[in-house]
Amino acid sequence: MNWTEVLMLMTVIRLGQPDRRFDHYLLGTSMVWPERYEPRSVIHSRFQMSRGGRVMLSSPRFRPGVPFTLGMFEATAACRTNVEPDVRPFPPQQCAHRTRDTNTDPQPLVNVVDVFLDKHEILWALDVGTINTMTQPERVAPPKIVRVEIDDDVDTYKAYEIDIDAEQEDSDVEMCLQFIVAHQSPKNTFVFITDAGRNSLIMFDMYKEMQSTIVFPEKTAYADRDIMFMTLLHKTMQGTRRPGLYVTYLSGCHMYVVQLDNIDQCSAVVARPVIMDLGRKPYRITVLGSDGGSRMFFRRPAENEIWSWDVNAHFHPSMFELVTKGQDCRAPVQITAGYDHFLFVLKNNFGDYVRNTTGSLGAYTIIQPVSRLPKSRGNSTTTKGTDDNARCDCHG
């Protein structure tokens, strides 16, 4: 039996004892990191996994005491006996993990809230530039996109600053950057970022290093605290795969798709991708991610069951499939395809973290396989759980 087919719980939060400073790469004992390490401030909220088994995790600086905001550990077969691996700073350069921008080149990672690994295994990270967002928010650097070239020897990175004043009509409306996705078109690379505060997507043409904005037709009444989900899926039409960004607000009523099949013909100045309304949602959903193909994963509010929907089917509750039932109090946060053709899920006790009731060791996060993926992700039909015929109730 393959080792990944056995229960694999990888605890990724045990960084050290609660009474000692964090000392990986001298970040806790030198002038590079003057702040103390506080385990209760650390929680891993987003992750990506390379084909070689490297797991990259974001640790947002919600509170003071987070030693670094982007980390990494190995999940290969050689490391299978280590169920509580050490999370190391990623990239490994010390200058990459300062909380203050000291005009270094490249710029340090201040607060990474989301990561995305493209098909060429280049990691794209969204750094919002504001720290202590749950206590006393403080902007210490401009928001930026960070491009990390993953290599076993040297992990090099480059930062692209986001123009916070670009195409802003109302100066009183602030950005609320949440998710990042990179799309490799036949001729170019485009990076998209959700901005719930301004009801839009920020689109970056990475070759021209140009930024533009896609405004959504649906607005939310809770822009300052709503969540604007986004995931990249591929729909099969007439034998061809058509990529699209599937976007919805947590409190919104509709699901949208931004068509990307003709993205190379879009100009950062004039044209914009086409936005289609797929219809009303039967209830609020929390989008968890995709399998790299045509299947979206999500959960319903206050529930831990994982559901899926294939974009080749109608967006309707009768097409939703139960993947797995919730078996503990940890809520699924993100799902992504990873090592050894498995689909992996990250779970944590974020509710306890928000209430500050996690205990002295801090939040508890696990990453575990959900199901086996087909050899070709293009077909993306995941192995379903035991309740194949289960359907969620439709409540209008």
Report pLDDT digits (tens) over 232-272.
999 988 888 899 999 999 988 899 999 998 887 775 555 67
Instruction: Give the 3-state secondary structure of residue 310.
Output: strand
- Cα–Cα distance measured from residue 344 to residue 355, given in angstroms and rounded to the nearest whole number: 27
Q: Dump pLDDT digits (tens) for 169-224.
A: 555 678 899 999 999 888 889 999 999 988 899 999 988 888 988 888 877 655 56
Name the token pair of 30.
């030198």
Q: Residue 26 carries which DSSP code?
A: G
**Structure tokens, 41:** 């401030």
Q: In this predicted structure, what is the pLDDT of residue 23?
A: 36
Q: Which amino acid is at 115?
A: V
Centroid of chain to Cα 327 = 23
Structure token digits, residue 161: 């600053």
Cβ neighbours of residue 311 under 8 Å, at least 6 residues apart? 233, 234, 235, 244, 246, 257, 294, 295, 296
| Predicted structure pTM score | 0.84
Picking from 246, 127, 128, the residue whose alpha carbon sits closest to that of residue 176 is: 128
pLDDT in tens, 101-127: 566 556 889 999 999 999 888 999 999
Residue 375 has a pLDDT of 59
Q: Average pLDDT of the chain?
A: 78
- Tell me, what's the pLDDT at 102? 60
Q: What are phi and psi of 22, to 5 degrees?
A: -75, 125
Q: Which two tokens stand for residue 383?
A: 């192995």
- Residue pair 70/112 in contact (Cβ under 8 Å)? The answer is yes
